[in-house]
Structure 1
Amino acid sequence: MAATGACLLPPGVSPAPRLRGRASAAPSSDQNPRLSSSLTRGCAVSKQQAPSALTGTTIPRTRPVGEHGRRYEKSTSYRGWSAPFMEDVELESGPDRVKRFFDHAKDLARPDGGPPRWFSPLECGSRLEKSPLLLYLPGIDGTGAGLTSHHKKLGKIFDIWCLHIPVMDRTSFRDLVKMIERTIKSENYRSPNRPIYLVGESLGGCLALAVAARNPDIDLLLILANPATSFDKSQIQALLPLLELMPEQLQLTYPFILSFMAGDPSRKFKASTEEGLAPQRTVEELSKDLLTMSSHVSVLADILPKETLLWKLQMLKSASAYSNSRIHDVNAQTLLLTSAKDWLLPSQAEGARLNNALQRSHIRKFEDCGHYLFLEDDFDLVTIIKRVGFYRRGKCLEYVSDYLPPTPAEYRKVYESNRWFNEITGPVMLSTLEDGRIVRGLDGIPSEGPVLYVGYHMLLGLELVPLVTGFMNERNILLRGIAHPMIFENYEKGQTVEPEYFDNYRIMGAVPVSGTNLFKLLSSKSHVLLYPGGMREALHRKGEEYKLIWPEQSEFVRMAIKFGAKIVPFGTVGEDDFGEVFFDYDDQMKIPYFRNWIQQLTENSGKVRSNATGEVANQDVHLPWIRPKVPGRFYFCFGKPIETAGRREELKDREKCHELYLQIKSEVESCMVYLREKRESDPYRSIFSRLMYQATHNSASKKIPTFEL
């Protein structure tokens, strides 16, 4: 193979009817377990399973017919759907999120005298088959409305229950832990193979950690947003004596709390400036937001009256101490979400501490966000789960069947974040038609999968961005890359590569290199990107540019023949126009400091082809030093697709399989020779000539010409 890129219901109660509330018998309570009739907005009365939420959403193409008269068929690159996208769900902006939260919380805050209980939001409609259970554990507001703006999107892939703690309820932290514990034990008993997600913010984060520590044998996944485990270091404690003395009618705490829910005003000002709004318009928008927020003071006072607020703040003390004393007993997978501008808690420092203390954790930092992450503008919990690769529906993560394709909006963000690289490289895409003619564009690429793309891995995998985005933009095809395990392994503390570096690889569908994953991708008729040279080729030595460093024996041909996959050999050139390796692996291994660093990095990253011999077996992880050049241009040439359908008899003949392997390798080399020769006559090979062309033609999006074909 190769590598790319470098749950409480009493026992016996059926879960089918979706009640307004699912109650857990809170300690010393004999109240009606269901939510009262006042809790109607956003609570599910009934909820039936609907078809899969992953309905294809085709992005219109600018060219429904190819340049050479070939009509494109709809992509079937993912389970036969009409396009490789999830259905898009538009999320509200920051102020709208806060307003919706208070609208929902206002209904939930009506006193009904009931105990803490679960409810399922009405917005959470159709779901994936066998969706995991997501239990939302709220912060000190206790309403359970914190994820309101995310319900529709989360409801596509999760079965969501939200914990509601009535305003006048005085259930202790430990009793809340026991209640949640009974829920997860009950749900785990009913569906032992279904994971349970605990999403907790602030106080809810402490609840999630405590439950996980007490139940190490249950398959839990934790998502903690600014957990309150650092409450002992928070300045909020200074409010307690003042709050106790302050008369009810002079409460100044609510505007204080609201200011944190509104987010950072400077961020709003910055966004308005970037949008080109006039200063007067920006001030008007900020004033409007301020007036809107002030209108929520009365609702906040209903949610957190003085006695309740005091109770919750005192609870935070015990919650922080309890969860911290058991932190080392937590072995659940954990995703830590921390804010840099959290003025209530030292969340980023606490996130780093928890990341070191927890056994299996991932961390993501949000530099422009405050304490209430789920109310922040542009914060999308589902997208973050995708980027981290944190979604699974069974005991183990299945990289193919559990994969959630990007929505059109998510793909646009990926594309925009890499637009600059596409502009610099000015990629030229060539493909080969059935009659052997080489044409510009991807008309020669098969529409129907399975298709296996086999090619040369450029230095540092620089070709991946223009390649993957080019296929998506021009042909609406999602390339599923076979990638090195280091992209999916837990982030090792002290590594030079930040965990966010590989997020785009995961959201675009890369899978770890293995025969099993290749089998599953081909069986699902995917378009698969494979580099036989792997990391050895992408991290090549001095003077090895455009040298194919492939295994001696074929590793993918028989698998392709088994599924009748089309094999498309391709070559890429242009790395020598961007940089030159001057301090490579051999040089680094001569210096003890670098040698030890390489050995440790390789140990942490995992090896591919550990049982292989030859050059490709030596895939130590390192970073060659590169001398940059004035940027040139990238060129891609895709050879004529090689049909393997009807050739299953050749599976038994290793010699014929090897002949086909050598043919593919020869085709890749021929594509590269062709490109290296033809690029010499490209008048727009230099970045300066391309910039001049764009300036004179007054269109940055217009395709820049290249050499004559």
Structure 2
Amino acid sequence: MAAIGGVSGYLATAGLLPCLRRRTTIYGEYQKSRRILAVSTEQIERVRSFEDINYERFAKKKGETEEVKLKPNLYSNPDEIPEVEKGKKSLNDYFEECKEFIRSNQNGPPRIDGTGLGLIMHHHKLSKMFNIWCLNLPVKDRTPFPELVKLVERTVRSESYRSPNRPIYLVGESLGACLALTVAARNPDIDLVLILSNPATSFSRSALQLLIPLLDIMKSPMQPLLPMLEIMPDQFPLNPSYLLSLATGSLPQPIGELSQDLVTMSSYLPVLADILPREALRWKLDLLKSGAASANSCLHAIKAQMMILFSGRDQLLPSQEESKRLRKAFPDSDIRVLEESGHFLFLEDKVDLVTIIKGASFYRRGKHLDYVSDYIPPTPSEFKKIYESIKWIITATGPVMLSTMEDGKVVRGLAGIPSNGPVLFVGYHMLLGIETIPLVAQFLIERDIGVRGIALPALFERIQDRNPPEPSEFDVLRIMGGVPVSPRNFYKLMSSKSHVLLYPGGTREACHRKGEEYKLFWPEQSEFVRMAARFGAKIIPFGVAGEDDIAEIILDYNDQMKIPWQREEIERLTKQIPNVRSNASGEVANQPMHMPWVVPKFPGRFYYYFGKPIETQGMKVELEDRDKSHELYLHVKSEVERYIAYLKQKREKDPYRNLLSRLIYQATHSSISASQIPTFDLSD
């Protein structure tokens, strides 16, 4: 990954070097050494390479007992998972390291604008995915923008030559984004991935330009000016928080506690004055002006994969306006707006660059993204944030999980689920697919099993003219292991011994019409049996019930097609999305892109019944016969229907089916989670 910051910068190659591969826990400590992007070989920072997490998580285990001893379940109690990743640094760490860094690096070769510490809060997690290069420009250096471009370009070309099959990531913030864009335009044949934060391509329309004539008439040093600047209006470009942001090149906007406490802020003024004397500020502004002009002149030549992050509260640049312009310039890019963030995203506590990369499916180790081998499971703190965002769904639905042991006994919980893959879960898709949320979460919490759901490709791809162009609502799906449905991906999941979640009914089942709840819309011919047999996978049919307890359809597909403007929208979106069932026939082939209009009900409860695993080991040759394969397919389907009927009947005897009764029970049993509240008697 390569990162170039407007005030800080980094470069690294994505992927895993074979000589550095080690099998250690992914949350362990890592060694630090340092490397610099510059003409010299002076060392600044180096971090260990990313370990092959997929192999650790999904490779065949030696045995369940030994597995429990070697690796405890890190997700078992989301409420007790720390909010902050172990090893993550803070804004105070940034300032403390700046103090030492800028005083020992006053001179030297050009290494980019600022201290090179702007991604300090992300080093720990990035180091597990990338080989990181840090970039820094000493305070007294005055290298012009074209020379900085050449410097970065030389390093990029050198790394590309050394690792031609790996992408180079350029992470650019503000001025760094202009550098990244210019380098990408000059090197269209190099596999570059750009992650840009509030690019300074909008400099000509920003208030920063007002600083240039002001600084030209200033004769006094910068530090004596600071007390006077504190009384200036907030709208003025040189108010304290504005100046602090520009000086450090990395303070968030709004600054938060620092901007509210001038006493605290004043303690950093000597450091800031060292970072940015008046003459350096004037030079930085000239650099921004030159960089913006250079980047804007070559936008048409950029072919690199790109994600651009814009802040909703950027006080330095008109980033909201710029986001609209760059959306048109790069229609295939992933553009996201962080409404509550300021200009310098990477020093804000709530911004996690690694999580953003995962959520956008932006991490790859080769020329093309591989959703299976490039997947990185969520860290405990990432899962905690996801769990907190979906906790209301789990509370509202109080999921009851039943599984079947080898002897056929049905038990509460997931003890009957095999630890070793490949395992294929085949079941019924509830209305809008809402049942997948508690299902995937509970598998991690109870069994430390990451379930890889096979989903509609449209959830992973940008659809033209969709608002917003690249929605982040599906980031959780990607972070939790979702994979676009395709024969190739299904093959890879089975070969990697994954636990895979498959819904043969797909969109037609999840977006069913009125009166079609609990009805299966499976293809007439088998789609999964022979692939499962090829790898000896265990097939687990499962049923779910409860969709009719949480929402009611008021306008289904048939109703919406009678509304002219809605019909046109459905037809437009359906044409844009490839038909993944082109060879299918019947109802399942009819999967128009629409969203049923529903009204919520007073929530009932969700029930899941996982049947006894069906072994396919040793049946590869036998199941090559289409008739035998189809016979097993129909058996799986009938089992799913049987489990649904069982749950619909048994839920009538659940004293805690109603949300109110469950809330009362939890209020009197504080240590009980929503999924642990009693249910119907399994012995009946």
- TM-score range, shorter-chain basis? 0.7 to 0.9
Give 1:516 deviation, angstroms.
1.2
Deviation at 1:346, TM superposition (A): 1.4
Counterpart for residue 203 of structure 1: 175
Matched AA of 1:251: L
Matches within 5 A, 1:422-437: 422-437=394-409
TM-fit CA distance, 1:21: 5.1
Equivalent residue runs for 1:77-116 within 5 Å? 89-90=85-86, 92=88, 94-100=90-96, 102-103=98-99, 105-107=101-103, 110-112=105-107, 114-116=108-110
**Residues 1:543 and 2:515 are matched in the alignment:** yes
**1:327 has 2:304 as partner:** no
For residue 83 of structure 1, report the CA deviation from its aligned partner. Answer: 6.5
Q: Distance in 1 between matches of 2:95 and 2:114?
A: 17
**Alpha-carbon separation, structure 2, partners of 1:75 and 1:517:** 29
Amino acid at match of 2:593: V
Report whether the alignment pairs 1:300 with 2:302: no
CA contact (8 A) 1:459 1:545 kept: yes
Question: Is the Cα–Cα contact under 8 Å of residues 8 and 182 in structure 1 kept in the other structure?
Answer: no
Aligned to 1:43: 45
What residue in structure 2 maps to residue 127 of structure 1? none
For residue 632 of structure 1, what is the amino acid of its counterpart?
G
* Cα distance change, pair 647–157 in 1 and its aligned pair in 2 (3 A): same
Matched, 1:642 2:642: no
SS in 1 for 2:472: helix
Q: Distance in 1 between matches of 2:97 and 2:307?
A: 24
SS of the residue corresponding to residue 124 of structure 2 reads helix
Measured at CA, do residues 90 and 380 of structure 1 come closer, stay the same or move farther in structure 2, by a change above 3 Å?
Answer: farther
Corresponding residue of 2:6:
none
Shift of 1:93: 6.4
Question: Greater shift after overlay, 85-94 or 178-187?
Answer: 85-94
Structure 1, 577-586 or 488-497: larger mean CA deviation: 488-497
Residue in 2 aligned with 1:708?
Answer: 681
Offset, 1:392 = 0.3
Q: Distance in 2 between matches of 1:91 and 1:49?
A: 16
The 1:577–1:195 alpha-carbon spacing in structure 2 relative to 1, beyond 3 Å, is: same
Which of 128, 134, 139 does residue 156 from structure 1 map onto?
A: 128
In the alignment, structure 1 segments of 5+ residues that lack a partner are 1-6, 10-15, 26-32, 59-69, 118-137, 269-284
Task: Check the 8 A contact 1:539/1:624 in 2, yes or no.
Answer: yes
The one-letter amino acid paired with 1:115 is P
CA contact (8 A) 2:545 2:644 kept: yes
CA shift, 1:339, in A, is 1.4
Given the superposition, is the C-alpha separation of residues 286 and 206 from structure 1 closer, same or farther in structure 2, using an over 3 Å criterion?
closer
TM-score, with normalisation over the residues of structure 1? 0.82
Which segment is superposed worse, 98-107 or 410-419? 98-107
The answer (yes or no) to whether the contact 1:331–1:360 under 8 Å persists in 2 is: no
Match of 2:41 in 1: 34
Show the counterpart of 1:125: none
What is the 5 A alignment of 1:665-704?
Answer: 665-699=637-671, 701=673, 703-704=676-677
AA in 2 matched with 1:706: T
One-letter code aligned to 1:654: R
> Could you say what secondary structure the match of 2:440 adopts?
helix
The residue that corresponds to 1:573 in the other structure is: 545
What is the aligned partner in structure 2 of residue 279 from structure 1?
none
Alignment partners' CA distance in 1, 2:638 and 2:340: 51
Match of 2:388 in 1: 416
Structure-1 separation of matches of 2:183 and 2:414 = 53
Q: Report the counterpart of residue 486 of structure 1 in structure 2.
A: 458
Tell me the percent identity. Answer: 57
Kindly indicate whether residue 340 of structure 2 is the aligned counterpart of residue 346 of structure 1.
Answer: no
Instruction: Write out aligned runs for 1:481-630 (5 A).
Output: 481-495=453-467, 499-630=471-602
Instruction: Rate the CA distance shift 1:631–1:699 in 2: closer, same or farther, 3 A.
Output: same
Give 1:483 deviation, angstroms.
0.8
Check 1:55–1:409 CA distance in 2 against 1; reply closer, same or farther (3 A cut): farther
Deviation at 1:19, TM superposition (A): 9.3
1:257 to 2:243 alignment: yes
**Amino acid across the alignment from 1:615:** E
Tell me if the contact between 2:126 and 2:354 (Cα under 8 Å) persists in the aligned partners: yes
Residue 592 (structure 1) shift: 2.6
Cα distance in 1 for partners of 2:327, 2:68 equals 41
> 1:670 and 1:307 mapped to 2: Cα distance?
77
Which residue of structure 2 lines up, in the alignment, with residue 219 of structure 1?
Answer: 191
SS at match of 2:133: strand
Separation in 2, partners of 1:19, 1:577: 57
Larger deviation, residues 235-244 vs 222-231: 235-244
The Cα shift of 1:107 comes to 4.6
Work out whether 1:474 is the aligned partner of 2:446: yes
Counterpart code for 1:165:
L
Tell me the residue number matched to 2:25: none
Tell me, in whole angstroms, the C-alpha distance in 2 between the residues paired with 1:462 and 1:92.
33
Deviations 1:539-574 (A, max 9, x none): 111111100100011111011111111111000011
Please list every run of 5 or more consecutive structure 2 residues that lacks an aligned counterpart in the other structure. Answer: 1-9, 13-18, 21-31, 76-80, 227-237
Give deviations 1:665-709, integer Å, cap 9, x for gaps. Answer: 010000000001111111211112222222344556262211111
Q: Shift of the alpha carbon at 1:387?
A: 0.9
CA deviation vs aligned residue, 1:200-220 (integer Å, no higher than 9, x gap): 111001111111122222211
Conservation of the 8 A alpha-carbon contact between 1:101 and 1:148: no
SS in 1 for 2:287: helix
d(CA) in 2 for partners of 1:500, 1:454 = 27
Distance 1:415 1:8 in 2: 33
Shift of 1:611: 2.9
1:226–1:528 Cα change, 3 Å: same
Q: Deviations over 1:373-432 (max 9, x none)?
A: 111113211111111110001000011111111101101111111000100011111111
Moved more, 358-367 or 216-225: 358-367
Whole-Å separation in 2 of the counterparts to 1:498 and 1:581 = 27
Instruction: Between 442-451 and 176-185, report the one with greater CA deviation.
Output: 176-185
**CA-CA distance at 1:529 after TM superposition:** 0.3
Which stretch of the first structure deviates more once superposed, 628-637 or 348-357?
A: 348-357
Contact 1:456 1:668 in 2 (8 A): yes
Find the aligned partners of 2:171 and 2:191 in 1 and give their Cα distance: 14
| Distance verdict in 2 for CA 1:601–1:8, change over 3 Å | closer
CA-based RMSD: 3.1
Assess if the C-alpha contact under 8 Å between 1:342 and 1:369 holds in 2. Answer: yes
Question: May I ask how many residue pairs the two structures share in their alignment?
Answer: 628
Distance 2:511 2:284 in 1: 55
1:182-201 alignment, distance < 5 Å = 182-201=154-173
Closer/same/farther in 2, CA of residues 297 and 330 from structure 1, 3 Å limit: same
CA-CA distance at 1:499 after TM superposition: 1.0
Aligned partners of 2:55, 2:256: CA distance in 1, in Å?
35
- C-alpha contact 1:8 1:180 (8 A) present in aligned 2: no
Is the CA contact 2:37–2:134 (under 8 Å) kept in the aligned structure 1? no
Are residues 265 and 394 of structure 1, via their aligned partners in 2, closer, same or farther at CA, if it must alter by over 3 Å?
A: closer
SS at match of 2:441: helix
Please say which of residues 476-485 and 186-195 is displaced more in the overlay: 186-195
AA paired with 1:34?
T
Deviation, 1:187, is 2.1
Range 471-480 or range 588-597, more displaced: 588-597
CA displacement at 1:323 relative to structure 2:
1.0
Deviates more, 1:437-446 or 1:84-93: 84-93
The yes-or-no answer on 1:401 pairing with 2:397 is no
1:380 equivalent to 2:376? Answer: no
Give deviations 1:564-622, integer Å, cap 9, x for gaps: 11111000011111122232112222333122101211233332112322211111110
- The corresponding residue for 1:3 is none
